[in-house]
Amino acid sequence: MTTKEKILASARKEFAEKGLEGSRVDRIAEGAGVNKAMIYYHFGSKERLYQAILEELFGRARGFLDRVLAKHMSLEERLSEVARFYSDAFTSSPELRPIILREMAGSGERIRAMFSRTILEVEAPRRMRALVEEGIEKGDLRRVDSSHAVISFIGMALFYVLFSPLVDSVWEIENGEAFRRSRPQEVVDVFLHGLKTR
Delimit the domains of the chain by residue range.
Answer: 1-44, 51-193
CA 2 vs CA 5, 6, 26, 44: distances in Å:
5, 6, 19, 17
Return the pLDDT at 198: 64
Return the pLDDT at 163: 94
Report the alpha-carbon distance of residue 159 to residue 155 in Å, rounded.
6
Report the alpha-carbon distance of residue 115 to residue 109 in Å, rounded.
10
H helix or E strand, kind and range, residue 129? helix 124-138
pTM of the model: 0.87
Strand, coil or helix: 154: helix
pLDDT in tens, the chain (198 residues): 899 999 999 999 999 999 999 999 999 999 999 999 999 999 999 999 999 999 998 889 899 999 999 989 999 999 999 999 999 999 998 999 999 999 888 888 888 888 888 888 899 999 999 999 999 999 999 999 999 999 999 999 999 999 999 999 999 999 999 999 999 999 999 999 998 876
Report the alpha-carbon distance of residue 40 to residue 117 in Å, rounded.
27
Give CATH for domain 51-193: 1.10.357.10
Return the pLDDT at 152: 97
Residues 6+ away with beta carbon under 8 Å from 3: 32, 34, 38, 42
Phi-psi category of residue 182: left, alpha or beta, with phi > 0 → left and psi -120 to 50 → alpha: alpha
Cβ atoms 57, 95 nearer than 8 A: no
Return the pLDDT at 118: 83
Cβ atoms 168, 179 nearer than 8 A: yes
Residues 6+ away with beta carbon under 8 Å from 70: none
Return the pLDDT at 113: 86
Instruction: Give the count of alpha carbons within 13 A of 196, CB side only.
Output: 1
Q: Which one is the CATH code of 1-44: 1.10.10.60, 3.40.50.300, 3.60.15.30, 1.20.140.10?
A: 1.10.10.60
Cβ atoms 98, 17 nearer than 8 A: yes
Cβ atoms 49, 13 nearer than 8 A: no
